[in-house]
Amino acid sequence: MCGIVAYIGHRQAYPVILKGLKRLEYRGYDSAGIALINHSLKLYKKRGKVVNLEESVLGQQVDGSVGIGHTRWATHGEPSDRNAHPHRSSNGKLAMIHNGIIENYALLKQELIKKGYRFQSDTDPEVLLYFIEDIQKKNGSSLEEALRIALKRVVGAYVIVLVDEDNPDTLLAARKGSPLVIGIGKGEHFLASDASPIVEYTREVVYVNDYEIAIIKPDELVLKNLGNERQTPYIQQLDLELAAIEKGGYDHFMLKEIFEQPQTIHDCLRGRLDMANKMITMPGIEKNMELIKNANRILIVACGTSWHAGLEAEYIIEELCRIPVEVEYASEFRYRNPVIHPGDMIIAISQSGETADTIVAIEKAKEQGAIILGVVNVVGSSIARLSHAGAYTHAGPEIGVASTKAFTAQLTVLTMIALMIAKEKGTISGERYLHLLNQLNELPEKVSKVLENVDLIKQVALRYVGASDALFLGRGYNFPIALEGALKLKEISYIHAEGYPAAEMKHGPIALVEETLPVVFVATKDASHEKIVSNIQEIKARKGKVIAVITEGDHIIQGMADDVLPVPETDEIVAPVINTIPLQLLAYYMGVD
């Protein structure tokens, strides 16, 4: 994911932007660049890490109190100095950074080439920049006007920030489908993809909305829509501590966030799980309870790890609430012509609240009259604002690219929502309801216990670091956790991994099992325990290596598996939260070796 940072004010822009880019490194990138204006416009770009850029700039003049910076994750054009942002206009006066994808760039590029433009990079943003420049030239319009005209023709998602050598006291920015936060200081403004580069300077921020253009001077912020009408900026206070976005002694954010989970789950339950009165309170859900409990169907849209939380929610809601649930990849749903009936309820799940596919999916569902419940981590994010109601996951900033604490918080919130609905509908007995409240209440302590096993999990991980493939298997509530375990391993260690329902193995994939293949079973005690024991036997019969997440004291599986990762005994509905922890650590230690 690209990251953008920009500054205008009374400080030196370069150190502010450089530090901001480092704060955004967690998003992943393959090149970085900065443009500064000090009388003339200067660009510094480098393939690789921000530190490479910093080194390449050593000894050069980097003065100036206005500038833009970017970390690029290549989409159009290989990672290189040439393709790194910022891009410069053909007349050399403008520089632009962009996050997103300009889908109709090829058409625009052809038009511009016919007019004689020669491109310096292979990227889509350079096309947009030349397009803006061309409109400016052709119409004799201001840069702001040219930007507005250009954006009306652009198809795709973007956050862009522009600087103009001839107008150095103004930054222009615009967004559609990608996040942009503006921090308001005294005589200065900070722009970034998220609040982490801003929080140490100011707590007052404005989240720019889709189709808005921001005209930013050191002491003035004007927002306009594409029709040139002024919009009122909604100023919010940042609820984010600097410590939360720093590593705090851990080697990586992922490890820090894995270890934060007892606290984040506690935060997620706090004020909601009321053990004194034996109830769960979540105002956003309560207000819409009539609609939710009478829903003909619940449709869940999400991507990646959040989709796995959605799949888990399908199992839990259908079991406890007896409402049919369908889980859709937002990235597929948005391009289909899905059937949405009146009375359908959409749950959108997202850590960032900014995933473009999920945003478009819920916009599409909203157009068809659906009610949207958002289960979102980032307060004030686009999905939170687009939802009619919902519940925040309160996991705090998730800086690690691999989602960990956000996932367990999503599972916790979704389980609470299911319990609230089930109680209202009368589809759960009083006894089971109370039992599950107790189980939720015990989660932070049980997660702490799993984390105490870190050394054992690390040892097991180190035994399998040489593997080139891995399989993750589970049944029932443990199937989505197997998928999540496989995703974590792929993402962190680059080892090819697949998640499967354990019972599906015999329908083909079992042919892959051989002596060198680690097969990770999520095999805690639940209704399908006997069945999963048989599945383990099938793997052992083919000499596969079995690593099993088991309930403490499960001597049956312990006697069969090559390695076991024990977790405390937990009800099967709540167990996914616990069972995912050893898989996060397994992926982490297989990845860092």
What is the binding site for ligand M6R (CB under 6 A)?
303-306, 350-352, 355, 358, 401-403, 487, 491
Residue nearest ligand M6R, Cβ-based: 304
Q: Give the residue with the Cβ less far from ligand M6R, 442 or 491.
A: 491
Q: Give the residue with the Cβ less far from ligand M6R, 358 or 551.
A: 358
How far apart, in Å, are the Cα atoms of 497 and each of 242, 329, 538? Answer: 35, 20, 19
Q: Least separation, in Å, of the C-beta of 260 and ligand M6R?
A: 16
Q: Give the residue with the Cβ less far from ligand M6R, 167 or 358.
A: 358
Q: Give the residue with the Cβ less far from ligand M6R, 17 or 309.
A: 309
Rg of the chain taking only CA atoms, in angstroms: 25
Q: Least separation, in Å, of the C-beta of 100 and ligand M6R?
A: 15
Minimal CA–CA distance to 537: which of 552, 517, 516, 559?
Answer: 559
Q: Give the residue with the Cβ less far from ligand M6R, 301 or 443.
A: 301
Q: Least separation, in Å, of the C-beta of 394 and ligand M6R?
A: 15
Helices 304-321 and 479-493: angle between axes, nearest 10 degrees? 170
Q: Give the residue with the Cβ less far from ligand M6R, 67 or 485.
A: 485
Q: Give the residue with the Cβ less far from ligand M6R, 303 or 365.
A: 303
Beta bridge partners of 390: 374
Q: Give the residue with the Cβ less far from ligand M6R, 318 or 491.
A: 491
Minimal CA–CA distance to 100: which of 57, 158, 144?
Answer: 158
Q: Give CA–CA dist 319/422, Å, rounded.
A: 9
Q: Least separation, in Å, of the C-beta of 296 and ligand M6R?
A: 26
Q: Give the residue with the Cβ less far from ligand M6R, 221 or 461.
A: 461
Q: Least separation, in Å, of the C-beta of 101 and ligand M6R?
A: 15
Q: Least separation, in Å, of the C-beta of 354 and ligand M6R?
A: 7
Q: Give the residue with the Cβ less far from ligand M6R, 373 or 539.
A: 373
Q: Give the residue with the Cβ less far from ligand M6R, 315 or 407.
A: 407
Secondary structure letter of residue 155 according to DSSP: -
Minimal CA–CA distance to 182: which of 198, 161, 162, 164?
Answer: 198
Residue type, 462: L
**144-151 contact pairs (CB < 8 A, 24+):** 144/172, 144/213, 144/215, 147/172, 147/174, 147/213, 148/213, 148/224, 148/226, 148/228, 151/176, 151/211, 151/213, 151/226
Residue 160 DSSP SS3: strand
Secondary structure letter of residue 228 according to DSSP: S
Q: Least separation, in Å, of the C-beta of 566 and ligand M6R?
A: 25
Minimal CA–CA distance to 349: which of 362, 337, 340?
Answer: 362
Q: Least separation, in Å, of the C-beta of 525 and ligand M6R?
A: 27
Q: Least separation, in Å, of the C-beta of 406 and ligand M6R?
A: 7
Which residues have C-beta within 8 Å of that of residue 457, sequence separation ≥ 6? 565, 582, 585, 586, 589
Q: Least separation, in Å, of the C-beta of 412 and ligand M6R?
A: 15
User: Are 492 and 588 a contacting pair, CB within 8 Å?
Assistant: yes
Q: Least separation, in Å, of the C-beta of 350 and ligand M6R?
A: 3
Q: Count Cβ neighbours within 10 Å for each residue of 85-94 and write b for 16 or more, e otherwise.
A: bbbbbbeebb
- CA geometry: angle at 193 spanning 182 and 46, to 5°? 120
Q: Give CA–CA dist 414/422, Å, rounded.
A: 12
